[in-house]
Amino acid sequence: MAKIGILTGGGDCPGLNAVIRGVVKSAVGRGWEVVGIEDGFDGFLHPEKCRPLGLEEVRGILPRGGTILGTSNRGNPFAFPIMREGKVELVDVSDEVRSRILQLGLTALIVVGGDGSLKIAQEMMRRGVPIVGVPKTIDNDLLETDVTFGYNTALETATDALDKLHSTAESHHRVMVLEVMGRYAGWIALESGIAGGADVILIPEIPYDIDRIRDAIIARCKRGRRFSVVVVAEGAYPKGGNRVLKEAAGGKSVVERLGGVGEALSRELGGVLEMDIRVTVLGHLQRGGTPSTFDRCIGSRFGVKAVELVEAGAFGQMVCLKGRHITSVSIEDAVRSLNLIDPSGEMVRHAEALGIMLGR
């Protein structure tokens, strides 16, 4: 009989509970025990945060957003932030985490996470912890999987926001700027922009030229379209310029926090356009809410597949979607670099063929 641990790490996203439920159902079906670790890897440092998960604990969680286990995007065991004399210091607590895993008698650990958590998982693997990964993130920036779960729901939220902005943009003859998440990848912006009929889409993979954007908006006005809808990914930046940060890395936040490009763009456009400009920052709404049918389905199947991988002893593997099949790849390959949009790829070409301006 196996005893497996499961944790959810990094920023939350819709579909995490579907994965947890999928893992518990298929593990319990095999007569295995499951231990839920709360708040990502941090949970290993607190005995009360490691608790048994059975069928009762996962009942009714499938349509719920968030994660019943809690998560953290600060708990890297190799650079764990602690306060010393009023200052944040990063210490290595990985040995403590490893001993706790041994003490709990875990035969394997399932890490449900994005790029950051899976890199940590890979390091823990090197220290002898048997791990299987499940790709999570609204940003869709992991390699070796057609899609990460959570992304589809975030896209729906962004597309819905664009539909709503369209009508008010048209009524007031305004430029409406929608800032969406995605970190260094422009997937949410590009796909929601295509689906929501945006006029301008700005993504980190294509630094934008403000004059070209102005010209496109003015050209629309001349055609009688006296409004424009612009989607800007939080990681987008002007040619020769820099990303807009809310917080640099190293302070309270271990990684840099992006945000504010919508306002920066509006200021720039305000200097070259007569029209009224308004900015909406969609923010964490993209991470919340009930998961879409797609995310519930692949989340559940990812959970089942993760248990199958544990059973097969396929440690160091990450569950993934290829076409219509759930299969697996090495975690190492998945976190090699980020899955970014190809500026000369098919999706960008199609967007431009639809008359959408991509800032170049």
CA dist 140 and 188 (Å) reads 8
Q: Residue 203 to residues 13, 191, 215, 332: CA-CA distances in angstroms?
A: 21, 11, 18, 26
Q: Which is nearer to ligand F6P, 4 or 142 (CB)?
A: 142
Query: Does 119 engage in binding with ligand F6P (CB under 6 A)?
Result: no
Single-letter code of the amino acid located at 196: G
Residues 194 and 356: beta-carbon distance below 8 Å: yes
Among 138, 198, 232, 358, indicate the residue that binds ligand F6P (CB under 6 A).
Answer: 138
Amino acid making up residue 99? S
**From 134-142, 209-217, 220-228, 314-322, span contacting ligand F6P (CB under 6 A):** 134-142
Q: How many residues bind ligand F6P (CB under 6 A)?
A: 13
Shortest Å distance, C-beta 281 to ligand F6P: 12
Residue 183 binds to ligand F6P (criterion: CB under 6 A):
yes
139 tagged catalytic = yes
Residue 76 in contact with ligand F6P, rule: CB under 6 A: no
Ligand-binding site membership of 234 (annotated): yes
**CA distances (Å), origin 100, targets 47, 104, 114, 288:** 9, 6, 23, 31
Shortest separation between residue 220's beta carbon and ligand F6P, angstroms: 29
Of 12, 39, 42, 139, which residue is the catalytic one? 139
* Residue 12 labelled as part of a binding site: no
- One of 9, 77, 182, 196 touching ligand F6P (CB under 6 A): 182
Q: How far is CA 20 from CA 51, 136, 206, in A?
A: 13, 12, 37
Residues making up the chain, counted from first to last: 360
Measured from the CB atom, the residue of 24 and 138 that comes closer to ligand F6P is: 138
Using CB under 6 A as the binding rule, the residues of this chain from 29 to 68 that contact ligand F6P are none
Show contacts with ligand F6P in window 271-310 (CB under 6 A).
287
Annotated ligand binding at 15? The verdict is: no
Q: Which residue has tokens 């500026």?
A: 343
- 325: tokens are 């099949």
Beta strand spans in 65-174 (E): 80-84, 87-91, 108-113, 131-135
Count of CB atoms situated within 10 Å of the CB of 59:
10
Q: How far is the CB of 48 from ligand F6P (least distance, A)?
A: 25
Q: Which of 33, 45, 57, 73 binds ligand F6P (CB under 6 A)?
A: 73
- The binding site for ATP consists of 11, 74-75, 114-117
Active-site residues, by number, are 139
